[in-house]
Structure 1
Amino acid sequence: MTASNNVAIHLHGASLRHGPVRALDAVSLRIEQGERVAIIGPSGAGKSSLLHLMATAIQPSSGYLELLGEQPWALPAGARQRLRARVGLVHQAPPLPPRQRVVTAVLAGRLGQWGVLRGLLNLLYPGDVPGARQVLAELGLADKLFVQCGQLSGGQLQRVGIARALYQRPQVLLTDEPVSAMDPVLADHSLALLNRHAQANGVTLVASLHAVELALAHFPRVIGIREGQVVFDCPADAVTEPMLDALYANEQLASPPTQGPTLTVQIPRC
C-alpha cells in the first residue's frame, strides 16, 4: 500500500496496545504535506499515543504507517533514524536536563542532522548562538539564552521546546499539548507562531490540544478522537457544539440507569 507523493502521514488501520490496554483502535488518516491539523478529545482518548506513533517513537501493534513517502518500520535502523531527523516532536513536558543551558537545548534540535563530532562540540561551545537567539526572541525568551533549563517555569520550558523544534526545521512538526502550561496570551501567541512558520515553510503541523477554542481558532482541520478511535475529521468551521458535547461526554460521571443498556455516546458527523 502506497500513499501519494503529497501525503506526509498516512495511517491505515493502525492499532496500538500497551499490554491489555488498547490505546488506538484501527485508526486511518491521511494528512497532506503542508496541512495544519489539531487533534482534540478527552483525557485518555489516545491523542499522545497517536502523535508518538506518527513520530515513529512507537511501532503500531497492527496496521500501516507511511511517513514522508517511507515505511519507517520496513527501513534499516540507520535509515529510520535519518527519517526521524526530518520530523520534529514537541513534548508537553520537554525532556530537558535541568543543568543544560537554553542555548544548548535549542541548538540540539539539529543533532540528527549533524555528525557526532559537531554534536559533541556543541555541548561545550554552542555553534550558532545568533540562530538560537533569533528563534528564542520570537517566543519572548531571548533573555534566557544562557540560563539553565532548571531555572525556567513550565511555560518557559514549553517555549524552549517549541524553539528547539523550530530551529530543527523539520518537514513534519508534531506537538503534544505544547501550550498547556502557558497563560492564554502566551498560548495564543505560540500557536500563531507555529502556524505562521508552518505556512511560510510548507511544514506539516499536527498538534494535540486540550483547549478546544485554540484548536478551532488556529487550525483549519480538526480531528476528534475518543477511546482510541477517530470519531470526526472536519474543517474547523464545520465542528458544532453537539459534536463537541458528545466527544467530551463523560460516561463515568453520567448517572447510570437502574436497569437497561449501558449509556453509549452518539457523535454527530460533520
Structure 2
Amino acid sequence: MGVALQGVGLIHPGGLAALEGLDLRIEAGERVAIIGSSGAGKTTLLRLLATGLMPTSGQLTLLGEAPTELRAGALKHLRSRIGLIHQSPPLPPRQRVVTAVQAGRLGQWSLPRALLSLCYPLDIDGVEQALAPLDLAEKLFNRCDQLSGGQLQRVGIARVLYQRAELVLADEPVAAMDPILADHTLALLNHLAAQRQVTLVASLHAVDLALKHFPRVIGLRKGRLHFDCPAAQVTQSLLDSLYANDGLDSRPSDAMGSAIDVEATTPWAAQQCL
C-alpha cells in the first residue's frame, strides 16, 4: 500500500485553505513528481504525507495506516518508515556528516543505541555506502558547516537512503545544485527508488527535470489537483494553464522536449489525466 487521499483538505490555524478536496492515489513503488507555482501547496502536501501536518478534512492513508487514528507509539513507528528530504536539510553546523546520515535510523533504534550513535558512529561502513553514490564518501568525517549548499542537500538524501524508508518524500531536493549535478542526482534517486521498490514523491520547480525523470507528474494549483498524468501526456497547454497568471519564469519554454522520452507507467495514471 502506498498513499491514498480521499477528499483531503487542510486549513492552517489562520484560516488559510492550503489544500482542498484532494483525491489522490499513489501505488507502492511509484515515482511521482509534483509541480506548480510557489504557494500551490506542494510543500504542504509533502508535510501532510510525512505526518508533520494532519488533514482537517477527508481521509489520509499512508503505507496501509491512517495516521489520524494512530496512538503516539504507532505514529512514531509509521514515521520511521517515511523519509523526508528537505530543501534545506536541518543539519547542525558542527555535526559530522557520518552522524548526520546515521540519524536517519534514530527512529528505528532503541534509545540507548540512538544516544550512543550521536556520540560515536556505530555503522561507518553503512553510512559510507549511502554517501558513495552521491560522491560524498570522502566527506564522511567533515563537519556540515564545511559543505556547500548542494553537498548539504546530498547529505540529506544520503540520510534517507541510509534510513531505507518505504516512502521517500523530497521537497525541492536539488534546488541548491547546478543543472548537471541536479540532473545526475535525480537520475540516481529514481534509479535507487526503482531498485529498492520504494515509493518516491518529489516536489520540483524545474518542470523539465520532472518530465525527464518521473513517470508520473501531478500539477497542483492553489491547493487543488489541476492534473495528474503520465509524463508523456503532459501537454504544453496543461503547463500553461497550471502556471497561468503566476508571472513565473521557472518553467522552461522547451519543457515538452523532455516529455517524449518518458515512458508512461500504470493504466490508472493514464485514466486520471485531467
TM-score of the two chains, using structure 2 as the length reference: 0.89
Alignment partner, residue 12 of structure 1: 6
- Unaligned runs of 5+ residues in structure 1 are 1-6, 254-268
Are 2:149 and 2:176, in contact at CA under 8 Å, matched by a contact in 1? yes
Higher normalized helix content (fraction of residues): 2
TM-superposed deviation, 1:60: 0.6
- Unaligned runs of 5+ residues in structure 2 are 249-272
2:242 is the alignment partner of 1:247: yes
**1:222 and 1:105 mapped to 2: Cα distance?**
31
**2:84 and 2:247 mapped to 1: Cα distance?**
32
Structure of greater Rg: 1
**2:246 and 2:54 mapped to 1: Cα distance?**
30
**2:247 and 2:129 mapped to 1: Cα distance?**
47
Alignment partner, residue 156 of structure 1: 151
**1:251 and 1:224 mapped to 2: Cα distance?**
14
SS in structure 1 of the partner of residue 92 of structure 2: coil
User: 1:115 is aligned with what amino acid?
Assistant: S
Alignment partner, residue 141 of structure 1: 136
242-251 vs 138-147, which deviates more?
A: 242-251
RMSD: 1.2
Q: Percent identity?
A: 64
Mapping of residues 1-270 of structure 1, within 5 Å: 7-18=1-12, 19-250=14-245, 270=274
TM-superposed deviation, 1:252: 6.8
**1:58 and 1:150 mapped to 2: Cα distance?**
29
TM-superposed deviation, 1:195: 0.7
**2:80 and 2:68 mapped to 1: Cα distance?**
15
TM-score of the two chains, using structure 1 as the length reference: 0.90
Could you list the per-position Cα deviations for residues 55-83 of structure 1 after superposition, in whole angstroms to 9, with x for gaps in the alignment? 11101111110011111110111101101
Are 2:130 and 2:161, in contact at CA under 8 Å, matched by a contact in 1? yes
SS in structure 1 of the partner of residue 55 of structure 2: coil
SS in structure 2 of the partner of residue 127 of structure 1: coil
Are 2:37 and 2:246, in contact at CA under 8 Å, matched by a contact in 1? no
User: 1:246 is aligned with what amino acid?
Assistant: S
User: 1:14 is aligned with what amino acid?
Assistant: V
Could you list the per-position Cα deviations for residues 103-148 of structure 1 after superposition, in whole angstroms to 9, with x for gaps in the alignment? 0000110111101111111111101111111211110111111111
- Equivalent pairs counted in the alignment come to 249
**1:46 and 1:251 mapped to 2: Cα distance?**
14
